[in-house]
């Protein structure tokens, strides 16, 4: 299978696309169909796998992808709200539009993208083989096996490779697979522009290549390395490794380097070093920059080992990979550096006579350059091998083609390798069937790492296996005592077992380490709610919303608490906000519906009571009940009016004066509250309750010394509701004072 170069073959211009053979497109379409069918078959058991890990923040908790209409405006808004990796984010939005959070659609798209990548790899290898067989120097001898078979074998082996499960079955890694897809399209567009003889057609292909590259950049930042890959391809296959071309075209390399620098500032902002230093694992001091660079030598070798032996027992979603502290600690660091150096040496040495092999070696290193070098990302993830392994797949096929005879033996070896990989991929996808099996697998392989234990605990918590979940969260805290998520999760598990006091201890411990963690504040508030301590709960919810105003659970919980306290209108507003922020928040929606039903019932009762009060205007109980109902739905002005009408009937009522004064106080109408409390005091100077209310009145305004004086007077007049004194949030500062300790000791309390 050869092509005929024109007079400008050294510059890469050909009079047609590589020859398809006498059968035309037929065999190619058959091979492409086999690639697609193989992909569908081996990933068929992954279609119901759940959202996990980064899926949660990027998809299920990302309200910006919840588009409700297919319009330009909706997607412009999505891009504005999700400027990082907007291309895959847009596809997640489309998945949500058509299927909500049913994972079937998300997995189906991932599988289609993976199949397309296998097809694009087939096309790329086929074209490259044909180009490389007719170099102007004539040095390269064509392989004995037809180009289509080599391309198909490499694409099939890569498509069924088990390590790719993390890029396909892990939904959020569509970012990774789409980057590969767009990068391959960009490279193919560039090649098409280089081999066509028609300038206009070449310009269109180049425009398409640049567009595809921009889409790749919009999918993941690693696409920034593509210009270097293009330059390498140009030098290898269009410039015949000419050293003169390198010297003459240095400006292109300078331009690519400049583009890379510009992209670094685009992605990282004006202070790239600060942003890099804020990356989670690095900022948490899990490794230094030097340790990461050293460790990556072993990681890159580990990736190579996974390519050649990808048994599911070696695959892991969350590695606990040992850090290299120096070249000799561990010694495998030095051995890895030497091995990789030797591999690069092989790439250089084989460049002239085994060009494809050499190119594949550099392809592997170039496509790992961003994630396996100096940038302080997490140490290791299998999805980073997605593009690099394409070169390794072709390398292995080329080795088989050179080393084995006859063709039947080559085909047999390939079938065995593909069959084993397909079975192992299907087997690995079984682990991804649910969160429990996935995190059990990760815990078994990374027993000393906190995150797998925590996520396994969360999976057990969702299944109601509370004792098992508690054990996992305690394992996390044994590894990382300040693990905020585990402290929260342990608290939630204890709450499910009705151990709320113990749960509050863990929430408060989490707040000691992370006082501005909104989720912890929300959880603490919910625990107070369970103990019926409404005011402290409201305080925690409000604090959480000051930190994160878009936190739907906090709005929901605050709404419920406010309704329970009697502020119906404000409560409903927060419930409505909770639904708007998260339409999937069933708790908010359910409570909002209940609140509306309750409000309607209360309004009906008010109408009946108003009619009764008109018939019996001196019946004090009608006015008291009306005040209570008005207050429950937030009609505070009408509640106050009803209490005043009741006081006109019975001016000296202790209960009415107490209720009216406290209603004013809860509304922060301090002057009106003081007037009522003082009136109460004058009417009943020996009654302890007005003194206690005046203590609260002073405390609520931060007048702690005066509040303590009034509290002492209340206790001196026989106020004995110690539960109220010791739980009232307004009196918290007083309770912590030495004077209060002396006061309660004098009353015989400890």
Question: Which of 591, 619, 654 is the endpoint of a domain?
Answer: 591
pTM greater than 0.85 (yes/no): no
Query: What are the CA-CA distances from residue 36 to residues 111, 115, 119, 204, 546 (Å)?
Result: 9, 5, 8, 28, 51
Strand partners, 14: 5
| Residue 421 shares a structural domain with residue 284 | yes
Residue 105 resides in a domain: yes
Question: In this structure, what CATH number is given to the domain that contains residue 568?
Answer: 1.25.40.10
Indicate the pLDDT class of residue 142, thresholds 50, 70 and 90. very low
Number of independent structural domains in the chain:
3
CB 375 within 8 A of CB 220: no
pLDDT per residue as tens digits for the range 375-421: 888 899 999 999 999 999 999 999 998 888 888 898 999 999 999 99
Q: What does each C-alpha distance from 126 to 120, 134, 398, 491, 638 come to in angstroms?
A: 10, 13, 13, 58, 82
Choose one of 526, 561, 591: the last residue of a domain: 591
What are the residues whose beta carbons fall under 8 Å from the beta carbon of 629, sequence distance 6 or more?
602, 605, 606, 609
The DSSP 8-state label assigned to residue 11 in this structure reads G
Q: Is there a single domain that holds both residue 481 and residue 550?
A: yes
Which of residues 574, 591, 608 is at a domain's end? Answer: 591
Residue numbers of the domain that contains 713: 680-750
**According to the model, what pLDDT value does residue 301 have?**
97
- Asked whether the bond before 84 is cis by omega within 30 degrees of 0, the reply is no
Residue-wise pLDDT for 451-486, tens only, equals 999 999 999 999 999 999 999 999 999 999 999 999
Tens digits of residue pLDDT in 33-92: 999 999 999 999 999 999 998 999 899 988 889 888 888 888 888 888 888 899 999 999
Per-residue model confidence (pLDDT) at position 426: 96
- Which tens digits make up the pLDDT trace of 275-304? 666 666 665 667 788 999 999 999 999 999
Q: How far is the C-alpha of 598 from the C-alpha of 432, rounded, in Å?
A: 44
> Is residue 95, in this structure, part of any structural domain at all?
no
Residue 176 lies in a domain: yes
- Same domain (yes/no): 473, 549: yes
Per-residue pLDDT for 5 more than 50?
no
pLDDT given for residue 717 in this prediction: 86
Residue holding tokens 């342990």?
Answer: 490
Residue 10: band (very low, low, confident or very high) from pLDDT cuts 50, 70, 90: very low
Examine residue 72 and state whether it is found in any structural domain, yes or no. no
Residues 472, 405, single domain; the answer is: no
Whether residue 117 is predicted with pLDDT greater than 90 in this model: the reply is: yes
Which residues, in sequence order, are CB contacts of 290 under 8 Å at separation 6+? none
**What's the rounded Cα separation, in Å, for the pair 615 and 431?**
73
Average pLDDT value for residue range 148-152: 92
The pLDDT value recorded for residue 276 is 64
- Say whether both 507 and 578 belong to one domain: yes
Same domain flag for 409 and 512: no
Are residue 305 and residue 411 in the same domain, yes or no?
yes
Could you tell me if 454 and 571 lie in one domain? yes
Average pLDDT for residues 496-509, to the nearest whole number?
93
Q: Does residue 484 sit in the same domain as residue 411?
A: no
Residues 418 and 524 in one domain: no
Rounded to an integer, what distance in angstroms lies between the CA atom of residue 680 and that of residue 697? 14
Q: Which secondary structure element, helix H or strand E, spans residue 33, and what is its range?
A: helix 26-42
Cα-trace Rg, the chain: 35
Does 255 map to a domain? yes
Within-domain flag for 20: yes
Residue at 453 is within a domain: yes
Instruction: Kindly state whether residues 105 and 141 are assigned to the same domain.
Output: yes
How confident is the model over 613-650, as pLDDT tens digits?
Answer: 888 888 888 888 888 888 877 788 888 998 899 889 98
How many angstroms separate the CA atoms of 505 and 538, rounded? 18
**Per-residue model confidence (pLDDT) at position 78:** 87
User: Does residue 335 share a domain with residue 232?
Assistant: yes
Q: Residue 609 domain-assigned?
A: no
């Amino acid at each position: 299978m050869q092509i005929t170069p024109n007079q400008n073959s050294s510059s890469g211009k050909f009079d047609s696309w590589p020859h398809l053979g006498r059968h035309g497109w037929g065999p190619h379409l058959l091979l492409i169909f086999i690639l697609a069918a193989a992909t569908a078959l081996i990933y068929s058991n992954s279609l119901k796998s759940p959202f996990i890990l980064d899926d949660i923040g990027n998809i299920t908790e990302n309200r910006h992808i919840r588009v409700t209409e297919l319009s330009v405006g909706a997607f412009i808004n999505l891009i504005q709200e999700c400027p990082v990796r907007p291309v895959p984010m847009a596809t997640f939005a489309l998945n949500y539009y058509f299927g909500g959070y049913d994972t079937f659609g998300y997995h189906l798209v991932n599988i289609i993208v993976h199949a397309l990548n296998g097809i694009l790899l087939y096309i790329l290898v086929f074209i490259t083989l044909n180009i490389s067989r007719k170099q102007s120097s004539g040095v390269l001898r064509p392989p004995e096996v037809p180009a289509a078979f080599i391309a198909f074998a490499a694409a099939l082996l890569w498509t069924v490779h088990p390590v790719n499960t993390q890029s396909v079955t892990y939904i959020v890694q569509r970012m990774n697979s789409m980057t590969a897809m767009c990068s391959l399209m960009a490279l193919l567009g560039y090649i098409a522009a280089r081999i066509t003889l028609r300038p206009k057609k070449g310009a269109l292909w180049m425009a398409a290549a640049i567009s595809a590259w921009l889409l790749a950049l919009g999918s993941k930042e690693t696409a920034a390395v593509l210009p270097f890959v293009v330059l390498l391809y140009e030098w290898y296959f269009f410039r015949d490794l000419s050293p003169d071309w390198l010297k003459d075209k240095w400006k292109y390399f300078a331009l690519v380097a400049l583009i890379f620098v510009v992209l670094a500032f685009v992605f990282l902002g004006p202070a790239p070093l600060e942003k890099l230093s804020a990356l989670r694992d690095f900022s948490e001091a899990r490794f230094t920059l030097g340790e990461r660079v050293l460790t990556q030598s072993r990681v890159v070798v580990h990736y190579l080992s996974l390519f050649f032996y990808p048994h599911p027992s070696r695959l892991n979603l969350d590695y606990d990979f040992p850090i290299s502290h120096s070249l000799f600690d561990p010694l495998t660091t030095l051995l890895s550096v030497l091995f990789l150096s030797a591999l690069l040496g092989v790439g250089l040495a084989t460049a002239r006579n085994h060009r494809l092999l050499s190119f594949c070696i550099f392809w592997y290193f170039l496509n790992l350059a961003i994630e396996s070098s100096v940038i302080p990302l997490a140490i290791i993830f299998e999805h980073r091998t997605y593009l690099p392994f394409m070169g390794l797949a072709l390398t292995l096929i080329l080795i088989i083609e050179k080393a084995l005879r006859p063709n039947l033996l080559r085909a047999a070896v390939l079938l065995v390798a593909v069959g084993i990989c397909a079975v192992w991929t299907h087997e690995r996808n079984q682990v991804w069937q649910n969160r429990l099996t996935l995190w059990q697998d990760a815990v078994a392989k990374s027993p000393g790492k906190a995150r797998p234990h925590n996520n396994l605990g969360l999976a057990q918590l969702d299944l109601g296996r509370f004792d098992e979940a508690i054990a996992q969260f305690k394992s996390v805290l044994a590894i990382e005592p300040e693990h905020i998520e585990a402290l929260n999760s342990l608290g939630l598990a204890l709450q499910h077992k009705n151990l709320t006091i113990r749960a509050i201890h863990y929430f408060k411990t989490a707040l000691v380490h992370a006082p501005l963690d909104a989720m912890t504040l929300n959880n603490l508030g919910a625990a107070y709610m369970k103990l019926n301590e409404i005011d402290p709960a409201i305080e925690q919810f409000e604090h959480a919303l000051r930190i994160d105003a878009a936190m739907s659970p906090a709005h929901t919980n605050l709404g419920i608490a406010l309704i329970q306290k009697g502020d119906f209108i404000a409560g409903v507003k927060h419930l409505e906000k909770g639904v708007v922020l998260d339409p999937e928040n069933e708790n908010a929606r359910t409570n909002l519906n209940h609140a509306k039903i309750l409000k309607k019932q209360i309004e009906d009762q008010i109408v009946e009571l108003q009619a009764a009060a008109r018939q019996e205007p001196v019946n004090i109980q009608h006015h008291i009940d009306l005040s209570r109902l008005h207050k429950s739905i937030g009609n505070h002005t009408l509640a106050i009016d009803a209490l005043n009408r009741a006081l006109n009937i019975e001016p000296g009522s202790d209960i009415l004066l107490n209720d009216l004064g406290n209603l004013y106080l809860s509304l922060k109408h301090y002057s009106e509250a003081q007037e009522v409390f003082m009136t109460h005091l004058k009417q009943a100077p020996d009654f302890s309750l007005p003194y206690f209310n005046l203590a609260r009145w002073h405390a609520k305004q931060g007048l702690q010394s005066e509040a303590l004086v009034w509290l002492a007077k209340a206790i001196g007049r026989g106020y004995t509701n110690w539960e109220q004194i010791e739980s009232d949030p307004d009196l918290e500062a007083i309770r912590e004072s030495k004077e209060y300790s002396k006061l309660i000791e004098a009353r015989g309390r400890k």
